[in-house]
Amino acid sequence: MKIRKSTKIIALIFAFLLTAVFAVSCNNKGSDPTKNTPAQGTPGSFKDTEIKITALKGPTGIGITKLLEESAAGTTKGNYKITLAASPDELTGKIINGELDVVALPTNVAATLYNKSNGKIKIAALNTLGVLYILEKGDTIQSLSDLQGKKIYATGEGSVPEYVLNMILKSNEIDAEVEYLSEHSELAAAALAGRADIILLPEPFVTTVLSKNGDFRIAVDITKEFEKAAQGKSYENAVLTMGCIVVNAEFAERNKAAFNNFLDEYKASALYATSNVKETAQLVAKYEIMASAELAEKAIPNCNIVYIDGQEMQNMATDFFNALIAYDQDASSIGKKLPSDEIYYQR
């Protein structure tokens, strides 16, 4: 009798287990399989969205170097394909047609692109402020007023350097002659050959000239003088915002969580660049963003690498565009008109 009773108990337990397994199996068959997949916006989902990014060689590419290194090592949260280009012209068509998702561009080029494409791109963050400086061979220029009657050699005719220089000179009632050369390298070579003693150049060409001829020095910080010239104007919050992060508008709308994660990782990379100059200089040279680590280490502190987004970005960039319009009457530098507020990406 005891044996029969034990056998009956075991049979009942076995039947119960079979019923439980069957119930779980049926429940899984009727469930949504996507519920076992991380939803977009969780760390596990960012690898599912490849973001195609191209930055420019030079100052606007410095902020992405740490992210570029981490992406190559596979240690980022996001899935990035990062490349580098020499000129904005290589990027404008590709960001509009979706061949690229994110690019770094001069801020005024981004405004022009937005206007010409009817809003197919957005500015997501500012990444580079002013990189323009007036160098002098000698020490006679101690203030802007000392430029009166002088001849300045510059580059960037018909673009931001020309408009900004004109704004500063006119605001300070300075009459100076300006001669434009076509290439930064051409002007740097002319200065080093003794054919130009007062020059307006961007980094890293500033550092190139300073390192090769000790008689040159920085006489005027254009970024600071631009902000002074804007005081009391309708665009008084204007800052010389030279570079920005641009995103394809449709891509950002479809992949908001993954793109926001990219912005977070880019921000960390930009902050790393400014606080770890020596290490960043090595990466800048490794990825051929500048000619050498030695040059990069000297140039980075003058490149005004930043990360600014949200409302602060919008205020700074809008006033910058208004400042350009004030000294470029047909607004050709930003695509003939002030971009609407829709140009700015907000999280």
Q: What value does the mean pLDDT of the chain take? A: 89
Q: What is the mean pLDDT of residues 190-215?
A: 97
Quick one: pLDDT band at residue 51, thresholds 50, 70, 90?
very high
Quick one: pLDDT band at residue 304, thresholds 50, 70, 90?
very high
Tens-place pLDDT, residues 157-167: 988 899 899 99
β-pairing, 151-155 vs 177-181, is: parallel
Q: What is the pLDDT of residue 342?
A: 98
> What's the pTM value of the predicted model, to 2 decimals?
0.84
Tens-place pLDDT, residues 214-235: 999 999 999 999 999 999 999 9
Least confident residue range of 7-21, 193-207, 241-255, 293-307 = 7-21
Q: What is the pLDDT of residue 52?
A: 99
Backbone angles phi, psi at 334, to 5 degrees: -130, 25
> C-alpha 114: how far from its chain's center?
16
Give the Å distances, CA to CA, from 230 to 59, 168, 170, 323.
Answer: 24, 9, 12, 7
Q: What is the pLDDT of residue 37?
A: 36
Q: What is the pLDDT of residue 23?
A: 39
Share of the chain above pLDDT 70, in %: 87
Tens-place pLDDT, residues 77-107: 999 999 999 999 999 999 999 999 999 999 9
Q: What is the pLDDT of residue 309?
A: 98
Q: What is the mean pLDDT of residues 106-115?
A: 96
* Residue ranges covered by each domain of the chain: 43-129+241-343, 132-230
Q: How many CB atoms lie within 10 A of CB 185?
A: 13
Q: What is the pLDDT of residue 18?
A: 39
Q: What is the pLDDT of residue 326?
A: 87
Q: Do domains 43-129+241-343 and 132-230 have the same CATH topology?
A: yes
Q: Show Cβ contacts of residue 58 under 8 Å, excluding neighbours closer than 6 positions.
A: 202, 203, 204, 289, 290
Q: What is the pLDDT of residue 223?
A: 95
Q: What is the pLDDT of residue 45?
A: 54
Least confident residue range of 130-144, 177-191, 298-312, 318-332 = 318-332
Share of the chain above pLDDT 90, in %: 81
Q: What is the pLDDT of residue 328?
A: 75
Tens-place pLDDT, residues 20-49: 433 334 344 333 333 333 334 444 558 999
Specify the CATH architecture of the domain 132-230: 3-Layer(aba) Sandwich (3.40)
Given a contact cutoff of 8 angstroms between Cβ atoms, the answer to whether 139 and 75 are in contact is no
Overall fold of domain 43-129+241-343: D-Maltodextrin-Binding Protein; domain 2 (3.40.190)
